[in-house]
Amino acid sequence: MIIALWTEQWWSDDLGPTGGYVGEAETPTWAAAVHEVWGDGVLTAMDELRERMEAGADPLRGQQRCLAVARAWKELTEALGCPEVTEPEPGKPLKVTDLWPIGPAAE
């Protein structure tokens, strides 16, 4: 009950769809993804973990890439530091002829 209330508070339908399709298909809302899809994903991951453990394989072997990528992003953001807000210089206003020249020179 507490989890359902928490997910409804943080993953409400107000956030809109989680993706988009070309064509008729619909995507779930964030609330539907959390309530209906997330649990299946966790069960699938746990099944794969159990299968690797039963086979005697390293259960975390497949996760090393994810950890390495996360570590690389952490190190990169630490090296770059916090972003600074800058205001770009206003450019020269464009005219239609700047984009599509007309007249004898354009031909």
Per-residue pLDDT of 34-65, as tens digits, reads 888 888 888 998 898 889 889 988 877 767 78
Query: pLDDT class for 6, splitting at 50, 70, 90?
Result: very low
Region 1-23: mean pLDDT is: 54
Q: Which residue has the tokens 């994810």?
A: 66
Q: How far apart are CA 85 and CA 88, in angstroms?
A: 10
**CA–CA separation, 82 and 29 (whole Å):** 32
- What pLDDT shows up at residue 74? 92
Task: Indicate if the pLDDT at residue 28 is higher than 80.
Answer: no
Distance in angstroms (rounded) separating the CA atoms of residues 76 and 83: 12
Distance CA 21, CA 32 (A): 17
- Bridge partners of 29, per DSSP, are 17
Model confidence, pTM: 0.37
